[in-house]
Amino acid sequence: MSDLLWPGDDRAGDLFTDASVLAAFVRVEAAWLEALVTHAVAVPAAADDLAGLIGPDDVPAVAAGAESGGNPLIPLLALLRRRLQARNPSAAAWLHKGLTSQDVVDTGLVLCLVEAAARIGDDLEHQIAALVRLAGGHRDTAMAGRTLTQHAVPITFGLKAASWLTGVLDARDRLAGAALLPVQIGGAAGSLAAPVALAGSPAAAQALVATTAARLGLPARDPWHTARAPLTGMAAALVTCTDAWGRIANDVLVAARPEVHELSEGPVAGRGGSSAMPNKQNPVLSVLIRRAALAGPLLAATVHAGAASAVDERPDGGWHVEWSALRTLARRTVVAGAQTAELLDGLRVETAWMTANLATARPGIDAEQLSITPDAATDTPYRGATDEIIDAAIARARGSRC
């Protein structure tokens, strides 16, 4: 999968592609079938891991058939049953028994989101390590602080990097909690009616759900057919990541202006050029990260809108609108995470320009200091709790990994 109009999309690879989504659906069906056999609900002969039955070449047929039933699982099941019948008739007879489309679609999306969260988590840790180096290494690199686009008071670049670090740490913690996505199995109307009928009791049906969840590496919980907090929570966590990265990209974009020149992206052959102006070296990574930060909230809002419009025991459109929004948001966040890690690794801190710009900002930038301590010399450090703030952010970063 590649999106020509979202440069960098290839960084997400096979994550959340149509083929990987179908594979996730098949994983859910296989885990449920295994649970039925394990708990002696299905006959032993029904055991089958469903391997090799569906592949990337089946995407066009499933996509074409999805409109008839409103979701891609229905045509996928038809293919699975037909192919499974030739290999294992018992498994074909028990396939999907006790489940409904929403169970498989929801849980399949969860599997894809968990994979995305793991990728993003790795990049967050990479970013954190880079930011710890920047914050500690530049704790004494003086520069002009700016508020509302104007000079404010002197700060250090280490303090700015510590602020970036705090945002990334907040994103890491938010993502770690949201990524504990549970299995979603409830049957046709969220009551587990069919699983109870098959297994013989509510406890036995819940055991089927627990075994399926364990097979998929997911937590088990009661059905959440129309209580969509797991997905809205993940969407919000993804946007928390792009918010943090967008803030970093914005600072780099401002500081990379030729008249400021305090930061610059690391040079990469062929990157940042212009089709018409050979003099330019555009900060492309920062531009693309900012793009993701601007787009993310709108995609998350779609997921929230779907949750807010939930009705009855399966929403009429509110459920369906989640799928593409989650996929797009997840892929774009993965891409932005990788770009931010690369940006921070190669970031150039132009300390001479920071010193020169701070000197140019004087004496106005020292006005607050002089209003509070009029007898102080303008070269007296006006750092407040800079060291303590930097140390606290670094200490937090060196705590437990998410």
pLDDT of residue 75 exceeding 50, the answer is yes
Nearest to 33 by CA among 12, 52, 13, 47: 47
Neighbour count for residue 242 (Cβ, 10 Å):
29
Neighbour count for residue 316 (Cβ, 10 Å):
11
**Is-contact 146 112, C-beta < 8 A?**
no
Residue 380's pLDDT is 73
CATH topology of domain 1-99+185-223: Fumarase C; Chain B, domain 1 (1.10.275)
- What DSSP state is assigned to residue 263? E
Residue 360's pLDDT is 97
pLDDT tens digits for range 29-43: 999 999 999 999 999
Instruction: Average the pLDDT over 85-101 and give the result.
Output: 98
Averaged pLDDT of the chain: 95
**Is-contact 31 92, C-beta < 8 A?**
no
pLDDT of residue 400 exceeding 60, the answer is no
**Is-contact 348 264, C-beta < 8 A?**
yes
Residue 325's pLDDT is 98
Residue 273's pLDDT is 67
Sequence ranges of the chain with CATH classification 1.20.200.10: 101-182+224-402
pLDDT bin (cut points 50, 70, 90) of residue 402 is very low
Residue 94's pLDDT is 98
Instruction: Average the pLDDT over 58-84 and give the result.
Output: 97
Residue 281's pLDDT is 81
Residue 292's pLDDT is 98
CATH code reported for the domain at 101-182+224-402: 1.20.200.10
Q: What is the dihedral of CA 103, 106, 108, 112, to 10 degrees?
A: -160
User: Active-site residue among 314, 331, 332, 396?
Assistant: 314
**Is-contact 22 72, C-beta < 8 A?**
yes
Residue 401's pLDDT is 46
Residues 362, 363, 364, 368, CA torsion sign:
positive
Beta pairing, strands 348-349 & 150-156: unpaired
pLDDT tens digits for range 217-274: 999 999 999 999 999 999 999 999 999 999 999 999 999 999 999 999 988 876 766 6
Sequence ranges of the chain with CATH classification 1.10.275.10: 1-99+185-223
Residue 381's pLDDT is 83
274 is catalytic: yes
AA letter at 250: N
pLDDT tens digits for range 146-163: 999 999 999 999 999 999
**Of 10-19, 255-264, 345-354, 371-380, minimum mean pLDDT range:** 371-380
pLDDT of residue 378 exceeding 80, the answer is no
User: Active-site residue among 201, 274, 309, 324?
Assistant: 274
pTM of structure = 0.95
Instruction: Average the pLDDT over 96-113 and give the result.
Output: 98
Residue 271's pLDDT is 77
- Among residues of the chain, what percentage have pLDDT more than 90? 93
pLDDT tens digits for range 196-221: 999 999 999 999 999 999 999 999 99
Nearest to 45 by CA among 5, 8, 95, 7: 95
Structure tokens at 52: 């090799």
**Helix ranges (DSSP H) in 217-373:** 229-255, 284-308, 320-346, 351-361, 367-372
pLDDT tens digits for range 276-329: 676 678 999 999 999 999 999 999 999 999 999 999 999 999 999 999 999 999
